[in-house]
A and B are shown apart, each in its own frame.
Chain A
Amino acid sequence: MAEKRRIELMVCTGTGCFAGGAFQIIEELNKELESFGLKDEVSLVATGCNGFCGQGPLMVVLPDNIFYGWLEKKDVHYLVEEHFLKGRPVKRLMFMPPDEKEPFPLLSDIPFFKKQLLVVLRNKGIIDPEKIEDYIARDGYLAIEKVVASMSPKDVREEILKSGLRGRGGAGFLTGKKWEIASQQIKTPKYFIANCDEGDPGAYMDRSVLESDPHSVIEGMCIAGYAIGSNEGFIYVRTEYPLAIKRMRIAIKQAEEYGLLGRNILGSDFDFTIEIREGSGAFVCGEETSLIHSIEGDIPEPRQRPPFPAQTGLWGCPTVINNVETLANVPVIITRGAEWFSKIGTETSKGTKIFSLVGKINNTGLIEVPMGITLKEVVYEIGGGIPKGKKFKAVQTGGPSGGCIPSSMLDSPIDYESLQKAGSMMGSGGMIVMDEDTCVVDVSKFFIQFTNEESCGKCTSCRDGSEALLEVLTRISAGEGREGDIDFLTELGESIKDASMCGLGQTLPNPVLSTLRYFKDEYEAHIKEKKCPALVCRNLIQYYIDPNKCVGCLLCIKSCPTEAITGESKFIHIINQENCHKCGQCLEVCPPKISAIIKVTGSDMENLVQLSEIISCKEWKKNHEYS
């Protein structure tokens, strides 16, 4: 093809945009470019996750660097004609933050991207993950080249140790140290496993790394294999990540064809192969000993450590397990040097970290930030704050194993130690933002329900302990909390931590303990006053129609699925509490300028005016005008 190309359209095809119809957009773009005769000048690249998932389906126009979000098929014709033919970027498809008047045309101007620092995701949105050529063009496989040509395994281990890289999967163990331990083992063969069993609700960092840059993980694994003396690697990934698995398979095949995997890599005497092992998605498989059992074909239950997998792992052989995000860091550290890497971040936490920013936040998406950045910067600058002007309440980091961090600690930096001190943990990087409408008891209940279901059942403390926690939390949120419940939760939580064998059990009480630490008053309100301050727990709230505001429009009556609302046109509507299931439909449909329906809790419920008979809005007004 003659090189007449002047524009490249980087269309995001991560799982989010894929689900949003990215491939239909691509099809339409192809059709329109063809009909405008722009096929040679404008090319399409299907990239991995761009990160700004809340705006998907999206694309970035290069070299202009213009960002378009929320694309629809019907926009494509106009977009192609206006921008790619006539050179007039289309404003209405650009990113527009809620409080601004003018959109942000350039990706580099959008605050969501501005504060990010890309190391792991250096190729996201720039390469086609299904083309090894794109990866190679971006200095791909330069690190393995350097390693086999000029470094001994010891050099590699020392470089990684010097960089200060720590495991991105949860515990934060020094990666170089882990490699060192495995390399000292005499027993062979040695195995290497990349852990992509990402189970936290709301987290998708690892998936995105595999989807947007699979070769960086392959290269990282090769280097790790070389450093520890292993020739066999596995990628453990859950079956429910079909796109990640597909792209990884393609990547492995390409690398094998080019001799970047297999025998005598790049003409050296180093051999390394990679196999994909699909897990069925049990949360406990993220724990390394369970994961090993799962690969071996056994029931995924953890076992006592030590011996650590680096000593006795897969099939009894020395095995190193690293998280995929950790591995994607490795090639960059080798090419750019440990010193460069260790300059990013804080004293004890080096480099960057990927977070999936979800929940009550304006800019939902995947972000990569330097360690040490404050939570405030993440929530308010990158995340764009809380929707609808609501107040920030807390952020849950580390998923069900982590804890929540309240607004008073927004200024604390994000690194392994600070998060731990706050009663949470880095975990794999899920970040769930909660606003004032979130009830902490409800959130704790949700997480304990999750861990209770996912507990493998081996240890009593975890299996029955989580059951007992759940029972008490359910009772509290149902308004049946008793004196002493808080002490019980604290004591039981601490005992589960002490008595459980693996990470799942040791961390499962964290959501309860951390919310108890920061929001004890909310628990007390539930127990003592039978009140849910955030108006969430169904048994503790009531929906009520304010007679002073109701105009008798019938909207709520029509929307109520249980026919709990009585009334006629222009007569004040009344909710029959016996039949109300508290679904909140009526509140949704009541027009904002009327806002007659409110939620009340606790003692407020007793002070409501209860209408004894049906009364017209007019008459009510007349009677109450002077009072």
Chain B
Amino acid sequence: MPKLTIDELQKMRETTRKGIYLREGNFRGKVIVHMGTCGIAAGAREIMNAFLDESDQRKLTDVMFTTSGCAGLCSEEPIATIEMKGSPPVKYRKLTSEKVKKIFNEHIMAGNVVKEFVLGIGSERVG
């Protein structure tokens, strides 16, 4: 191992910081793939993989990917909810890897909701 200089230490700090971004909790958005039995049967795992691949390609460190249970409309699965900071959650229906690509580009990266795939915007009331 070479001895570090100050510059090298600073560079190393930058790279290692990326390695622990999940622990720091600074996210501008959250993608929830619904993985109830219905979702899994309809291919939710591939959808999760597609999201993670897209994120990996862009080396994103500020979007969080998580799973959740059945969204309640099993016939529309696979469903994913995208919550970007400051805007209401958007649910997308009947997802495929191609749709994920488009949603990633337009919604997550550019902030424009892909209206053609939308199931609903906002969430149910909890009463």
Residues of chain B in range 59-90 having any CB-CB distance to chain A below 8 Å = 59, 64-69
Q: How far is the CA of A10 from the CA of B48 in the complex (A)?
A: 22
A295 to B108, CA, bound (A): 60
A87 to B10, CA, bound (A): 37
Chain A residues with Cβ below 8 Å from B124 are: none
Chain A contacts for B35, CB-based, 8 A: 85-87
**What sequence of 0s and 1s flags, for each residue 35-71 of chain B, a beta carbon within 8 Å of any chain A beta carbon?**
1100010000000110011011001000011111100
B1 within 8 A of A: yes
Contacts of B27 in A (CB 8 A): 63
- B5 contact set on A, CB distance < 8 A: 266-267
- Picked from B17, B33, B52, the residue with its CB within 8 Å of the CB of A137 is B17
Complex contact A266–B52 (CB within 8 A): no
Q: Does A65 contact B (CB under 8 A)?
A: yes
Q: Is the CB of B9 within 8 A of A2?
A: no
Question: What separation, in Å, do the CA atoms of A139 and B10 have in the docked complex?
Answer: 9
Is A242 an interface residue when CB atoms closer than 8 A count as contact? no
B85 to chain A, nearest CB (A): 14
Which of A63, A87, A134 sits near B16, CB closer than 8 Å?
Answer: A134
Q: Are A62 and B6 in contact (CB under 8 A)?
A: no
- The answer to whether the Cβ of B125 comes within 8 Å of any Cβ in the partner chain is no
Cross-chain contact A10 with B68 (CB below 8 angstroms): no
Q: Nearest residue in B to A40 (C-beta to C-beta)?
A: B52
Stretch at the interface among B18-26, B94-102, B113-121: B18-26
A63-B25, A267-B6 known; A6+B19 contact, CB < 8 A: no
B110 / chain A contacts, CB cutoff of 8 Å:
none
A258-B1, A266-B5, A267-B5 are known contacts. Are A8 and B23 too (CB-CB below 8 A)? yes
Shortest Cβ distance from residue B51 to the other chain A in the assembled complex, whole angstroms: 9
Q: Which residue of B lies closest to A128 (CB)?
A: B20
Tell yes or no: A248 within 8 A of B by CB. no
Q: Report how far A51 CA is from B91 CA in the complex, Å.
A: 39
Determine which residue in A3, A85, A133, A258 has the highest number of CB atoms from chain B within 10 A of its CB, and name it.
A3
Assuming the contacts A88-B69, A136-B12, asked whether A4 and B56 have C-beta atoms less than 8 A apart, the reply is yes
Residue A141 interfacial (CB < 8 Å): yes
Using a CB-CB cutoff of 8 Å, which residues 130-146 of chain A contact chain B?
A: 133-134, 136-142, 145
The count of chain B contact residues (Cβ–Cβ below 8 Å) is 37
* Cβ–Cβ contact B22 & A137, under 8 A: no
Known: A5-B22, A65-B25, A258-B3. A266 touches B9 (CB 8 A): yes
A149 to B23, CA, bound (A): 30
Contacts of A126 in B (CB 8 A): 20, 23
Closest to A87 in B: B67
Collect the chain B residues with CB atoms within 8 Å of residue A259's CB. 2-4
- Kindly state the separation between the CA atoms of A84 and B67 in the bound complex, as whole angstroms: 7
Query: Are B4 and A6 closer than 8 Å at their CB atoms?
Result: no
Of B6, B16, B53, B69, the residue contacting A266 (CB under 8 A) is B6
Neighbour of B56 across the interface among A3, A134, A137, A138, CB < 8 A: A3
Please report the C-alpha to C-alpha distance between residue A16 and residue B72 in the assembled complex, in whole angstroms. Answer: 42
In the bound complex, residues from chain B placing their C-beta under 8 Å from that of A139 are 13
Encode contact with B along A1-31: 1 for CB under 8 Å, 0 otherwise.
0111111101000000000000000000000
Do A133 and B16 form a contact, CB below 8 Å, given A258-B3, A259-B4?
yes
The SS class assigned to the B binding surface is mixed
Q: A86-B69, A145-B9, A267-B6 are in contact. Are A63 and B23 (CB under 8 A)?
A: yes
Residues on A with C-beta less than 8 A from B52 are 4, 6, 41
A4 to B36 alpha-carbon distance, docked (Å): 21
Min Cβ gap A40→B in Å is: 8
Q: Is B32 an interface residue (CB 8 A)?
A: yes
Determine which residue in A5, A134, A137, A262 has the highest number of CB atoms from chain B within 10 A of its CB, and name it.
A137
Q: A2-B56, A4-B56, A259-B4 are in contact. Are A137 and B20 (CB under 8 A)?
A: yes
| B5–chain A nearest beta-carbon distance, Å | 5
Kindly list chain B residues whose C-beta atoms are within 8 Å of the C-beta of A141.
9
Query: Of B2, B53, B66, which one neighbours A64 at CB under 8 angstroms?
Result: B66
| Contact of A188 with B by CB under 8 A | no
Q: Which residues of B contact A257 (CB under 8 A)?
A: 1
- Taking the closest CB of chain B, its distance from the CB of A135, in whole angstroms, is 9
Q: How far is the CB of B25 from chain A (nearest CB, A)?
A: 5
User: Complex formed: what's the CA distance from A133 to B25 in Å?
Assistant: 18
A264 on the interface (CB 8 Å rule)?
yes
Which chain B residues lie closer than 8 Å to A63 at the CB level?
22-23, 25, 27, 64, 66
Given contacts A8-B22, A136-B9, contact A86 B56 (CB under 8 A): no
Q: Which A residues lie within 8 Å of B59 (CB)?
A: 3
> How many whole Å from B48's CB to the nearest CB in chain A?
8
A574 lies within 8 A of chain B by Cβ:
no
B108 CB to nearest chain A CB (Å):
14
In the complex, what residue of chain B is closest to A260 when comparing beta carbons?
A: B4
B6 partner, pick from A7, A84, A149, beta carbons under 8 A: A149
CB <8 Å contact, B6 and A145: yes
When distances are taken between beta carbons in the complex, the residues of chain A under 8 Å from B48 are 41
**Which residue of the partner chain B has the closest CB to A138?**
B20
In the complex, chain A residues whose CB is within 8 Å of the CB of B49: 4
Of all chain A residues, the one with the shortest Cβ separation from B34 is: A87
Q: Which residues of A contact B56 (CB under 8 A)?
A: 2-4
Residue of A nearest to B31 (CB): A6
B-contact bits for A33-74, CB 8 A (1 contact / 0 none):
000000001000000000000000000001111000000000
| Contacting residues of chain A (258-276) with chain B, CB-CB under 8 angstroms | 258-260, 262, 264, 266-267
Q: For residue B30, which residue of chain A has the nearest CB?
A: A63
Q: Which residue on chain A has the smallest CB distance to residue B52?
A: A4
- What are 6 A-B pairs at a CB distance below 8 A? A6-B22, A87-B32, A87-B33, A87-B68, A127-B20, A266-B4
Known pairs A139-B13, A267-B5; list 17 more (Cβ under 8 Å). A4-B53, A5-B22, A6-B22, A7-B22, A7-B66, A63-B64, A85-B35, A87-B32, A87-B33, A88-B68, A133-B16, A134-B19, A136-B9, A136-B13, A266-B4, A266-B6, A267-B3
